[in-house]
Amino acid sequence: MIDTDFLAETLLKLLGGLPITLELSTISILAGVVLAVLLALLRQASRVGGLFVRAYVFVLRGTPLLLQIFLVYYGLGQFPLIRHSILWPFLREPWWCAILALTLNTAAYGSEIVRGGLAAVPTGAVEAARVAGMSRWTMYRRIILPLAFRQALPAYGNEWVIMVKSTSLASIVTLMEVTGQAYAIISETYRAMEVFLCAGAIYLTLTFLLTRAIGALEHRLTPYLRRPETTLGGLA
């Protein structure tokens, strides 16, 4: 009953799309974190900055990611100004457009998560840093951002899992990542269930590994939230 040959063949073809899925996920997640932190800091920095970030978050979180991808990929090319700019070689490529849209999108969600993390940094820790004569930059680098990051990690982990799944939308702008491959096989064979099972297994594995990695990172970074381990002669 189960056509194992077809399943194996499908799985192999789908895995061909894995590198693109991984590229899109990794790059947009990392770039998204950087942008999210900048946005969260900008929001604190000034009134105008705060207004800008709030508008940005409002628009990006209030609209579908698919529409955002389309606006970047099809919409921007409408303008001769952009077609003749040095950015055009990038904005012409679906790969870069997907990265750009995914990054902008996750940064909006991420900046709210980072904001929550920053708000949860104890004022006493900041005061102790100030009174020790730390410069603003040192204080953010050594005290505030590390504490905020640890606070935000669980929520941010969920966002990263969502991002991995969201890379599937890149298939709609012709990128042959895992979902793009799946679509091609289904529209050729009409064996939706089998293809779904294979593609689903790949995504489930990815999201499972990511969740575990985040859990391990959290465990590593927050030993102070656990009961002390009996480390005899622990090293510095």
Partner 1 sequence: MASSLELFGFGPQGWGHQLLLAGLMTLAVSASAFFFGIACGTLGAWGKSSHALLPRLAADVYTTVVRGVPDLLVIYLFYFGGSTAVSAIAHAFGAEGFWGLNGFLVGMLAVGLVSGAYETEVLRGAYLAIPRGEIEAAKAAGMGRWLMLHRIIAPRLLRFALPGMGNVWQQVLKESALVSVTGLVEIMRQTQIGAGSTRQPFAFYIVGFLLYLVLTTLSGFLLHAAERHSARSERRPA
Partner 2 sequence: MSSPEIVVAVSNLHKRFGALEVLKGVSLEAHTGEVVSIIGASGSGKSTLLRCIPLLEVPEEGEIRISGEEVALRTRGGRREAADAKQVNRLRSQLGFVFQSFNLWQHMTVLQNVVEVPVHVQRRPRAEAVAEAESLLEKVGLAEKLNAYPSHLSGGQQQRAAIARALAMRPQALLFDEPTSALDPELVGEVLRVMRSLAEEGRTMLIVTHEMAFAAEVSSHAVFLADGRIEEEGPPSQIFRDPQSERCRQFVQRHLDR
Told to check if 146 binds partner 2 by CB under 8 A, we report yes
Q: Binders of partner 2 among 190-229, rule CB under 8 A?
A: 221-225, 227-228
Residue with tokens 């990038």: 90
Q: Is 70 in the site for partner 1 (CB under 8 A)?
A: yes
Q: If contact means CB under 5 to 8 A according to the sort of partner, which of partner 1, partner 2, none does residue 79 touch? A: partner 1
Instruction: Please name the helix (run of DSSP H) or strand (run of DSSP E) that holds residue 61, with its range, or none.
Output: helix 47-61
Provide the b/e sequence for 65-85 (b: ≥16 CB within 10 Å). beebbbebbeebeeeeeeeee
Q: Which is nearer to partner 2, 140 or 160 (CB)?
A: 140
Instruction: Decide if 108 contacts 61 (C-beta within 8 A).
Output: yes
Residue 77 in contact with partner 1, rule: CB under 8 A: yes
Q: Give the separation between CA 187 and CA 97, rounded to whole angstroms.
A: 25
Instruction: Give dist(CA 156, CA 202) in Å, integer.
Output: 22
Angle, helices 4-15/192-221, rounded to nearest 10 degrees:
50
Restricted to residues 27-66, the positions that interact with partner 1 (CB under 8 A) are 58-59, 62-66
Q: Which does 26 bind (CB under 5 to 8 A by kind): partner 2, partner 1, none?
A: none
Of the residues 28, 103, 168, 181, which one makes contact with partner 1 according to CB under 8 A? 168
158/213 Cα distance (integer angstroms) = 12
Q: CB nearer to partner 2: give 49 or 75.
A: 49
**How many residues interact with partner 1 (rule CB under 8 A)?**
40
Q: Is 186 in the site for partner 1 (CB under 8 A)?
A: yes
Comparing CB distances to partner 1, the nearer of 33 and 198 is 198
